[in-house]
Amino acid sequence: MTTPPVAGTIVAVSETFYDVIVVGAGPGGATTAWKCAERGLRVLLLDRAAQLPRYKPCGGGIPASLATHVSGFEESERFADLSVTHLRHSWKGKDTVLAEMTTESGAPAHVWMVQRAHFDAWLVERAQAAGATVRTGVKVSDVAVSGETITVSTATGETFAARHVVGADGAKGIVGARVGLRLGKRWGIAREAEIPFETNAGGDNRFHADLHPGAAYLDYGSVPNGYAWIFPKRGFLSVGAGMLLPKKPAENEENNVGQVLRRAIDTMLASVGQTFPEGMDAPRIWGHPIPFWTGAEPLATADNRVLLVGDAAGVVQPMFGEGIQYAIRTGDVAADCLASGTVGEYTNRVRALFADEFDAALRIGKMFYRTPFLSYKLGVKNPAGTKLVGRLMAGEAHLHDLEQRIYERLRNPLKRKG
């Protein structure tokens, strides 16, 4: 609960002393603020965006199994546009396979399609309703620990004080850098555009001969170390491409990477009979870094005063670049640690939840992207593979199960089932 600064600490601060200041109001920060406020902590949530909702380049795909991990996500119609139950895979726009995702019991496995502007604003509303104070247009420029007080300074000279700070400021966040966390971080890169799209006048709601709003589309082979996607939303398609396993950061910042991703987006659109709308040029295609999971670094400072969540903590599944559910889940764990006075356990709790899965994803990803054509033919198009994806999305299987299956197949290539 709220405790005043230790007497004698001299800092220029706002009048309120917070239990927690959360920097960044994306899924990670908004969830941290929501769950901390629910637990009775005095919370300030800051974002540099002038106002919310704000756009964030993102496909907006979230496995519905998130609701089994974090409370409050039961009514998906409040935050999701659509819910897909099929994946349509292709190799360079061709050789397609449409697969239904199902759970072990045969029920459809759902992946929510959220518009990030709407979804993030919905989360911030949850935080506000639980009692968090929210300020936008506040760009944090420094974080300094002095005795019992952490001072957060902004680009415009404002200061705020708290006992704890949570860095939820995304892939290139500054909070971690200011307190010596995630110093050697590396990124993949992705580009994304939102293409207006009306369902056809016939009213059957179909996008393309073999596709429908219940399917998300993934294309392999056009992007080295990555893939392209189309995630349907109401009234538009989120189309993008990403390179996920960087060799070194500089390579991914070269212009030709942007062009490779742009060509992959064009191929993806063409494969469903679409083109970039007239007049919609490169600036409307947003580039954004995707942090690279290493699992090696601590996610809180040694004095347990500053924690990182979501992209700022590098908690992104490294094979597909999926990060929303992990931002939310690390935010939930961070809030629990803050409210129960167990911040010292935070890094280990995050590792216990995700390290096995992410390490397996990294190994599978390296194998997959090194031999993408073979992986596509033998893995993605294999009915057992598509079945497993359904289990993964339903949270009933783990990537280390998939890794196990791959090694079994390599040991015994003639085995047809398993």
Ligand X SMILES: Cc1cc2nc3c(=O)[nH]c(=O)nc-3n(C[C@H](O)[C@H](O)[C@H](O)COP(=O)(O)OP(=O)(O)OC[C@H]3O[C@@H](n4cnc5c(N)ncnc54)[C@H](O)[C@@H]3O)c2cc1C
Strand order in the sheet with 111-113: 61-63, 111-113, 82-84
CB-nearer residue toward ligand X: 118 or 409: 118
Smallest gap from Cβ 111 to ligand X, in A, equals: 9
Smallest gap from Cβ 141 to ligand X, in A, equals: 7
CB-nearer residue toward ligand X: 190 or 406: 190
Smallest gap from Cβ 313 to ligand X, in A, equals: 8
Smallest gap from Cβ 312 to ligand X, in A, equals: 6
Smallest gap from Cβ 105 to ligand X, in A, equals: 25
CB-nearer residue toward ligand X: 312 or 397: 312
Of the candidates 62, 33, 98, the residue with the CA atom closest to the CA atom of residue 335: 33
Q: What burial letters (b/e) apply to 21-55, b meaning 16+ CB within 10 Å? A: bbbbbbbbbbbbbbbbbbbebbbbbbbbbeebebe
CB-nearer residue toward ligand X: 173 or 385: 173
Smallest gap from Cβ 220 to ligand X, in A, equals: 16
In contact, 130 and 122? CB cutoff 8 Å: no
Amino acid occupying residue 34:
W
Q: Nearest 5 degrees, angle CA 39-CA 42-CA 44?
A: 120
How many angstroms separate the CA atoms of 59 and 113, rounded?
Answer: 8
Q: Nearest 5 degrees, angle CA 394-CA 397-CA 398?
A: 115
CB-nearer residue toward ligand X: 179 or 312: 312
Binding site for ligand X (CB under 6 A): 23-29, 46-49, 56-62, 139-140, 168-170, 173-174, 190, 192, 240, 242, 288, 290, 310-312, 316, 321-325, 327
CB-nearer residue toward ligand X: 246 or 310: 310
In contact, 75 and 36? CB cutoff 8 Å: no
Count of alpha carbons within 13 angstroms of residue 72, beta-carbon side? 19
